[in-house]
Amino acid sequence: MIVGIDSISFDVAKIHLPIKTLAKARNIEPEKLEKGLGLIKMTLADLHQDTVVFGANALTRLIEDNNIDLTEIARIYVGTESSIDNSKPISSFLIALMEQQFGEDSLSQCDVVDFTFACIGGVDAMQNCIDFVKLNPSKKAIVVTTDLAKYDLNSTGEYTQGAGALAMLIAADPRIIAFENNWATSTKGVFDFFKPYRTISKETITGKISNDAWFDNLESEIEIHKEQPVFDGQYSNQCYMDRTRDAYFSFKKLKDTVGTVYNTWESIIMHLPYAFQGRRMLSEIYTLDAETKTINGNEDPQEYQTKLKETSKSNEYKDFVNQKLMPAELASSLIGNLYTGSIFMGLLSTLAYFHDNDREIAGTKFGFLAYGSGSKSKVFEGTIQNDWKKAIDGTNLFETLDKSFEIDFHTYEKLHKKEQASSVKKPHKEWTLDRIEKDNPNLLGARYYKWIE
């Protein structure tokens, strides 16, 4: 029995800022971002959108477009690093909205939970669901990845922002891709990128030494949580390389092969915080596992890095990138970072590219190199199934991205600072954040959503 992704849907923010506009405002040469990092647009959440909205939209489309029988769905597991509550998972919001749309108690026996491990949480959720379906082949599961990648203004991560979600049906005998049993992992606890809870003294805010109540806060410190991460870009890149390299060679041992593993993959799908991250990170693995090795890892650090740079600039490596990595980069260039959804958007981008170019890939293998800061990598592979084209026929990925609405820099900054008074684009046939409770003491902060026709 084979298990994998049977169908896939997505929802991406409908407004974007051109990278060229951001570059000019920040006095950055546009070519550095466009040609150097592969960035063209960055999508941004509108006023009525959050991670529940994106996840609910993607999930609704998955159910409707594929006529899914909800009685067969045993799990809806969410991968996210953009939770809106410390206790109530996004998946519980999604259950409520799906029952609002498709019938009360239609998912009352469905298990739900969120997985959080930076950008790899969606892969963790999928692996768990695959194992479940293998044990219960008559049941199906759904994985939803939903995130807002937001960075501080003027930070080095600002131009990698993005927002959106994907939803995937996990089933036996899938139409799109079936995953093999070998999953290699490399984990190390580090602080390359994280979103900590920070505090500021109440005295700093109120100017009073006495610890008087301040908006119902009795503590002398006020806790602050920002959507924006604390990160070290160069260190994070090194962690990405270290984890994926170690997981890749662990995968090679699991496969018990002496050959070059990446040569067996038609396409390589990697986590892409920006479009060209994969091609920048993969040169080490490409060189170390090459049939004709130019390095073995025992060189002194300077010589090692010099040879890696030589490899990355070679025509052979550029051809390799265009063949195996480029299709996954296309959507990333037009969206930005989706955190947990980035690797799955890379898969959808690749499938859409081959679909639109009428190229048959059934029976070929795709390799996946997932990464999450903190840090962990998983390497695994899957085989494209015969009905993959039919399964994504109505997805219309690139057609949808072409309809994105361009905003100006002033609007972008107002949205970022939460100064925007109304939505940029009027919602249509989608979920929206209706209100957040501010009066009822037993429901303070509760978020309510509604469907807009």
Residues 299, 304, 308, 314: is their CA dihedral positive or negative? negative
Confidence of residue 32 (pLDDT cuts 50, 70, 90): very high
Q: What is the separation of C-alpha 326 from the centre of its chain, rounded to a whole number of angstroms?
A: 18
Mean pLDDT across the stretch 269-294?
Answer: 93
Q: Yes or no: say if 164 and 148 are a contact pair by the CB < 8 Å rule.
A: no
Mean pLDDT of the chain: 96
Confidence of residue 216 (pLDDT cuts 50, 70, 90): confident
Question: Residue 31 phi/psi, 5° resolution?
Answer: -60, -30
Model pLDDT, residue 191: 97
Name the residue type at position 326: M
Burial (CB < 10 A; 0-12, 13-18, 19+), residue 236, is: buried
Model pLDDT, residue 335: 98
Confidence of residue 150 (pLDDT cuts 50, 70, 90): very high
Taking 80 as the threshold, does the pLDDT of residue 294 lie above it? no
Question: Residue 411 phi/psi, 5° resolution?
Answer: -65, -40
**CA atoms within a 13 Å half-sphere pointing along the CA-CB vector of 118:** 28
More confident call, 216 vs 296: 216
59-102 pLDDT, tens digit per residue, is 999 999 999 999 999 999 999 999 999 999 999 999 999 999 99
Q: Yes or no: say if 99 and 105 are a contact pair by the CB < 8 Å rule.
A: yes
Q: Assign a CATH topology to domain 3-192+232-452.
A: Peroxisomal Thiolase; Chain A, domain 1 (3.40.47)
Q: Give the chain's length.
A: 453
Model pLDDT, residue 131: 98
Tell me the percentage of the chain whose pLDDT exceeds 70: 100
Confidence of residue 297 (pLDDT cuts 50, 70, 90): confident
Model pLDDT, residue 299: 84
Question: How open is the CA angle 345-286-347, to the nearest 5 degrees?
Answer: 10
CA distance 185 to 162: 27
Model pLDDT, residue 138: 95
Per-domain boundaries in the chain: 3-192+232-452, 195-224
Model pLDDT, residue 292: 80
CA distance 125 to 164: 17
Write the CB contacts of 213 (distance below 8 Å, at least 6 apart in sequence).
Answer: none
Confidence of residue 170 (pLDDT cuts 50, 70, 90): very high
Taking 90 as the threshold, does the pLDDT of residue 291 lie above it? no
Beta strand 365-372 pairing with 267-270: parallel
Model pLDDT, residue 142: 98
Burial (CB < 10 A; 0-12, 13-18, 19+), residue 410, is: exposed
Token pair belonging to 343? 């690797």
371-392 pLDDT, tens digit per residue, is 999 999 999 999 999 999 999 9
Token pair belonging to 211? 């610890």
Model pLDDT, residue 295: 80
Tell me the percentage of the chain whose pLDDT exceeds 90: 94
CA distance 5 to 429: 26
Model pLDDT, residue 261: 97
Model pLDDT, residue 301: 86
Model pLDDT, residue 396: 96
Confidence of residue 37 (pLDDT cuts 50, 70, 90): very high
DSSP one-letter code for 120? T
Question: Which of 266-301 are b and which e, b meaning 16 or more Cβ less than 10 Å from the residue's Cβ?
Answer: bbbbbbbbbbbbbbbbbbbbbbbbbeeeebeeeeee
Write the CB contacts of 121 (distance below 8 Å, at least 6 apart in sequence).
Answer: 79, 80, 81, 114, 115, 145, 340, 372
